[in-house]
Amino acid sequence: MMLCKLSIKNIKKSIKDYAIYFFTLILGVAIFYVFNALDSQTVMMNVSSSTQELIDLMMMMLSSVSVFVSFILGFLIIYASRFLMKRRNKEFGIYLTLGMSKRKISLILFFETLFIGVISLLVGLGLGILLSQLMSLVVANMFEANLTQFAFVFSTSACLKTIIYFSIMYLFVMAFNTISVSKCKLIDLLNSAKKSEEIKLKNPYLCILVFVVASIVLGKAYHMVTVEFLSLQEVTDILKPIIMGVISTYLIFWSLSGLILRIAMSIKKFYYKELNSFTIRQFSSKINTTVVGATIICLMLFVTICLLSSCLTIKNSMNANIRELAPVDAMFTQNMNMDKYYDYYRSYGYNDSQIKNSHYTAKEMFALFNLDITSYFKDYIEVNTYATSDLTMNHTLGSKLDSIRTNFPFLAYDTMETIIKISDYNKVAKLYGTGEYSLNDDEYIIVADFKSMVNVRNIALKNKEVINLFGHTLKPKYDECQDGFLEMSSQHINTGIILVADNIIDEEYLIQNHLIGNYKTTNREKIMEIENNINKLDKDPKASAYLLPSGSTKLAIKEATIGLSAMVTFIGLYLGVIFLISSAAILGLKELSESSDNKERFKMLRKIGTDEKLINKALFRQIAIFFMLPLIFALIHSIFGIMFAVKILEVFGTEELLPSIIATAIFIVIIYGGYFLITYYCSKNIIKEKY
């Protein structure tokens, strides 16, 4: 009981020192609960069965991510405990001097950890439960579901998972504390505050050489993930610039640790102004011993920035894409004349009967199954696309083929190009509300919206490459691809469609028929009923002998898009926020530890008459530099990381990138900036103690 009371007294006495520890634990518990309670929010919503399946899949993914998050938080809690142990070395030394056994000191730490853990769990769960009620609105908005009736929701499973995971973490902390106390020596505990880190000045020429070499290697890594992006085909190709970036980041921090002090000392007006000499020497001494830590924090911040920016961009862009790339209710595509390319279709698993019976349009095929598909539409169009082995990408790239193949060796150059009559494309464009075109008989146009392929095709178009089609020689009307698409999707997937004059086409090479239109009804339930009726045709006994039209509907695209964007967003936010908290907490705890060690130095500054405002200003600058340096390098990395992400995300569209970057910046300012301010005020309190 006595040890229990002493533990409570110690917590009350050191509550300000525990501020970041408490803040991190509470925030970690709250976030853990919120993301694991997402499925409980769907109780308030009317969602379709397919949407519910997507939510269930998302929760499975989040559960897996939670295991990884628990390891990160566990490491963070143990790291924080190290700081608290170091902060109280002298106190433990006094306990030993007074005759207290190490077992009793371990019991004190046990009770302290237990009390802190219980308090953090209770407060964190309370905050998490409140935040999860707000999260229900976010979930409803994400899945475009209607809240039928708002009700307070408590997730028992998320609560139990949070308690179990964090209890395991605290058990590890208790074990760590017990081992640490058992290994400590009285002399080390009493003299820990008097130990001073020796500042070793590194060879400046070696530091400059390392800095230059590391910068060149980093520049090469940047070049590989941006300019040489399309040549990165294998996992090992992607790992190479990542490894180069990690090593060069470490070497840059190592070289800076030896250069900053020398550079500052050479600028005497700056070095001897106010307490700059004290601040720079303090910073240099810390960066000497935290090169690895600074590298890890920089990389964690880099991952955070890229994760948050990318996942928010995917969400915003995919939602915008639904409006742009799925402008009508349904599109049904029927493969035709498959026997013309028998071997090709057989290799994809189509049977002989399906290939033989591939001479029906989409409307005719539905009629064979006693379904008048057009009765569902208020307006519709039918268009055809064509293909021939005499016109592949090899032919459209012309004289530029060899140079393009060298730079982009992985492209399928033997793939037949998709061809469409200009009149048919204009019918589609009119229905979609996109741009229509006109052509002379000796011209062609390429429409595409997949940016990487647009750039490749533009190389040939700028060179005025001519093509030969069905006995006609055609020249490009424009020296670049025009924006457009045929197939509905939630992504920019059109790698190129060739538009030609109607009289050029040979009907023998008809390869697909497309039926595109808008339903008579806008009622979601009735649309689902229509599409269910169409899907039931697969169960018809005749289905194995015929190839039914493949369907692409706005409703199906919308539900799949919502599910994918929600999954990516929540997982990205979960990991991004945890990484951000971890980075900021490690920096904050490191600074608090340094402030505790340097208390005597600040005390000495006061003794020689230094103004309190000047001391606080020096402390603020010291902490600001330590927080800003990893962030600055992370931001530089992120510029190229986001450029790399843009290449990957271009299929989704990157028009919403700027709002996502702004949202990410807000996250960083609130969380990272919040930790910075807490660290500063706690450090200020530490250096003021008993002077």
> pLDDT, tens digit, for every residue of 373-397?
999 999 999 999 999 989 999 999 9
- Alpha-carbon separation of residue 545 from 314, 353, 585 (angstroms): 40, 5, 64
With 70 as the cut, is the pLDDT of residue 95 above it?
no
Give strand ranges (E) for 477-519. Answer: 497-500, 510-519
pLDDT of residue 629: 85
Question: Which tokens hold the place of 615?
Answer: 């001391």
Chain centroid offset of residue 626 CA: 26
Question: Which tokens hold the place of 31?
Answer: 């976030």
CA angle 63, 64, 70 (to 5 degrees): 85
Q: CA 484 to CA 495: how far, in whole Å?
A: 10
Closest C-alpha to 14, from 686, 601, 691: 686
pLDDT of residue 498: 95
The chain-wide mean pLDDT, for the chain, equals 80
Average pLDDT over residues 36-57: 65
With 60 as the cut, is the pLDDT of residue 200 above it?
no
pLDDT of residue 573: 82
pLDDT of residue 113: 72
Closest C-alpha to 248, from 282, 224, 276, 280: 224
Choose between 6 and 689: higher pLDDT: 6
CA angle 588, 593, 599 (to 5 degrees): 120
- Alpha-carbon separation of residue 589 from 254, 593, 626, 677 (angstroms): 21, 6, 12, 13
- Residues of the chain with pLDDT > 70: what percent? 80
The residues, ordered by sequence, that sit 6+ positions from 74 with a Cβ below 8 Å of its Cβ are: 168, 169, 172
pLDDT of residue 605: 75
With 60 as the cut, is the pLDDT of residue 564 above it?
yes
Chain centroid offset of residue 560 CA: 19
Q: CA 675 to CA 410: how far, in whole Å?
A: 47
Average pLDDT over residues 152-163: 82
Average pLDDT over residues 511-518: 94
pLDDT of residue 691: 40
pLDDT of residue 592: 77
Domain residue extents for the chain: 1-195, 370-539
Q: CA 423 to CA 501: how far, in whole Å?
A: 8
Long-range contacts at 358-367 (CB < 8 A, ≥ 24 apart): 358/547, 360/334, 360/336, 360/546, 361/334, 361/336, 361/513, 361/515, 362/332, 362/333, 362/334, 362/513, 362/514, 362/515, 362/549, 363/515, 365/334, 365/546, 365/547, 365/548, 365/549, 366/332, 366/537, 366/549
- Residues of the chain with pLDDT > 90: what percent? 20
